Amino acid sequence: MIYLILIIYFIFRIYPYLLSPVPLGYDGGLYLYLWKQFQNISILKFTDLPSWIVQVYPPLLPIVGKFLSYFVNPEYFLIPISFVIAGLLFLSIYLYTKNLWTVLLLSISAIQYKFWWWYYIKNILATSFIFFYLYFDQKKSKIKYIFPVLLPWLHQPTAIIFFIILILHKNIKTIILFLLSFAIYYLPNYQNTILPFLQVTVTTVGQESGTFYNLDEAVKLMWPYLLLAIYGIYLSYKNKRNFVVVVMAVISLLIPLFGLFLSRRFIPFFDLFVIILAGYGAKNIFVKRKLWAGLYIFLLLIFGINFVYKNSEALIFSDEYIEIKLLGESKKDSFVLVADNEYTPWIYGYSDRKAIAPGFGEYDIYWSNDEWNQFWLSNNRETEIQLLNKLPKPLYIYLGDRQRQIKFTPEGNCFNRYSWHVWEYVCQK
């Protein structure tokens, strides 16, 4: 039965790639850019990468990508690695719970599917490390000590959840290992790692932050197993089980409820702890109710199939994806102006050119916020030309089908069409 559930889990994730070759989510192109950049420098020089990379990506997954890059181009393992990491999460939760109901709920969870769809692979891998730790801790195995060493170098918000779990477990040795690992990387790189995270945390307290569902949307998508989770909490209290899971479900609910940290990005943790409690409840309630169990499984599958069918479309069209890759044949050392940040990760990852994107990356140094707005909305050709003349050349402009409505249009002698969505700017100062 576990293999059948695993097949369901992966069929839901394979389905989008039967429709389109475009990598899912927003972050894939940024990971690709990161791994391509890391190919060119020593593994010990990670912090020499552009500051935004160091801020956003702790070094563990970049190092994994660099190692894989010795054998294969990052573009070829970009999608497979997301499946491997998804499989690790499935395995870790099954090992920890040994509950088929739990992994079935994991497989049909809209929250977990969308979390994977966004290509949040460092979050997912770090979450699997939590449950591998809990499993090996149950087994009294020293293998568990690997995870407090690795996890701080993988994903900061997950590290917060993990640290709270370590405190609840009162394992001083593990806490010390975690803090030492954290200090080794983060303290020498405080300006590019801790400080930006603290600044975001302080400025967003009381507000929803982070790219994901808000709490209301998430709870509505969790309806297939919320009541079972409540029953699971009752059973846990009655049988004195799952203390850590119940506490972490409450904490991971309070964080988005009160807008703490990157609040929306903690919702998948809440969903996972709810799934574990719901699986515990389901195992007890359906053990002697085979007909009810079969009907419930049927309804779960209908829910999962319906959600995946309606929520599997890639963020950009296939022809746009192909066209962006063709930018790699444009003039060497050229720049690409990304008129809308919806396309930022794709230009960064696949064009092999320097992307000038609004409010993002190492090349957004030529225009102020006001100048970006002037470019988008002034509808004044003289102003637009003055702004474009500030940018380095050769210069291409990408205007996609899904970008916001802007008044700029690439018309006139200064613009040569390179492809359907791309124009070369040919005027000089």
Confidence of residue 188 (pLDDT cuts 50, 70, 90): confident
**Cα separation of 146 and 389, whole Å?**
53
Confidence of residue 304 (pLDDT cuts 50, 70, 90): very high
Confidence of residue 422 (pLDDT cuts 50, 70, 90): very high
| Structure tokens belonging to residue 196 | 């930006």
Cβ contact 32:78 at 8 Å: yes
pLDDT of residue 407: 85
pLDDT of residue 219: 93
> pLDDT tens, 354-378?
999 998 889 999 999 999 999 999 8
**Cα separation of 219 and 59, whole Å?**
33
> pLDDT tens, 10-58?
999 999 999 899 999 989 999 999 999 999 899 888 988 988 898 889 9
Instruction: Name residue 96's amino acid.
Output: Y
Q: Return the percentage of the chain with pLDDT > 90, whole number.
A: 70
pLDDT of residue 106: 98
- Is there a cis peptide before residue 23, judged by omega within 30 degrees of 0? no
Q: Return the percentage of the chain with pLDDT > 70, whole number.
A: 97
| C-alpha closest to that of 272 among 164, 127, 167, 116 | 127
Confidence of residue 342 (pLDDT cuts 50, 70, 90): confident
Domain identity same for 241 and 368: no
Domain identity same for 299 and 327: no
State which of 310, 327, 343 marks the end of a domain. 310
Domain identity same for 291 and 369: no
User: Is residue 429 predicted with pLDDT exceeding 70?
Assistant: no
State which of 277, 310, 343 marks the end of a domain. 310
Domain identity same for 64 and 19: yes
Burial of 72 (0-12, 13-18, 19+ CB in 10 A): exposed
Confidence of residue 201 (pLDDT cuts 50, 70, 90): low
State CA 388 to chain mean position distance: 33
Domain identity same for 79 and 197: yes
The four Cα atoms 191, 192, 193, 194 give a dihedral, to 10 degrees, of 30
Domain that holds residue 415: 318-425
93 Cβ contact partners less than 8 Å away, ≥ 6 residues apart: 102, 103, 106, 128, 131, 272, 275, 276
Mean pLDDT confidence for 387-401 = 92
Mean pLDDT confidence for 178-191 = 89
Domain identity same for 93 and 159: yes
User: Is residue 232 predicted with pLDDT exceeding 90?
Assistant: yes
Total domain count, the chain: 2
Report the DSSP beta bridge partners of residue 398: 338, 422
Domain identity same for 9 and 98: yes
> pLDDT tens, 106-130?
999 999 999 999 999 999 999 999 9
pTM: 0.92
Secondary element (H or E) of residue 354: strand 354-356
**Cα separation of 386 and 339, whole Å?**
16
For the sheet with 415-419, list strands across it: 354-356, 335-338, 395-398, 422-425, 415-419
pLDDT of residue 196: 72
181 Cβ contact partners less than 8 Å away, ≥ 6 residues apart: 148, 149, 150, 151, 152, 153
Summary mean pLDDT of the chain: 91
Domain identity same for 304 and 322: no
| C-alpha closest to that of 24 among 82, 64, 77 | 82
pLDDT of residue 206: 58
User: Is residue 207 predicted with pLDDT exceeding 70?
Assistant: no
The more confident residue out of 263 and 106 is 106
pLDDT of residue 406: 85
| Structure tokens belonging to residue 32 | 């690709």
pLDDT of residue 203: 63
Domain identity same for 290 and 159: yes
Domain identity same for 136 and 244: yes
Token look-up 């709270």 returns: 164
Domain identity same for 271 and 247: yes
Confidence of residue 222 (pLDDT cuts 50, 70, 90): very high
**Least-confidence region, from 214-228, 264-278, 326-340, 401-415:** 401-415
* Extended beta strands in 151-303, E state: none
pLDDT of residue 202: 64
Cβ contact 228:246 at 8 Å: no
State which of 286, 310, 334 marks the end of a domain. 310
Mean pLDDT confidence for 392-411 = 87
Q: Which one-letter DSSP state was computed for residue 338?
A: E
Domain identity same for 274 and 391: no
**Cα separation of 360 and 341, whole Å?**
8
User: Mind giving me the DSSP string for 175-212?
Assistant: HHHHHHHHHHHHTTTGGGTHHHHHHHHHHTTTS--SSS
Mean pLDDT confidence for 337-349 = 91
**Least-confidence region, from 127-141, 197-211, 337-351:** 197-211
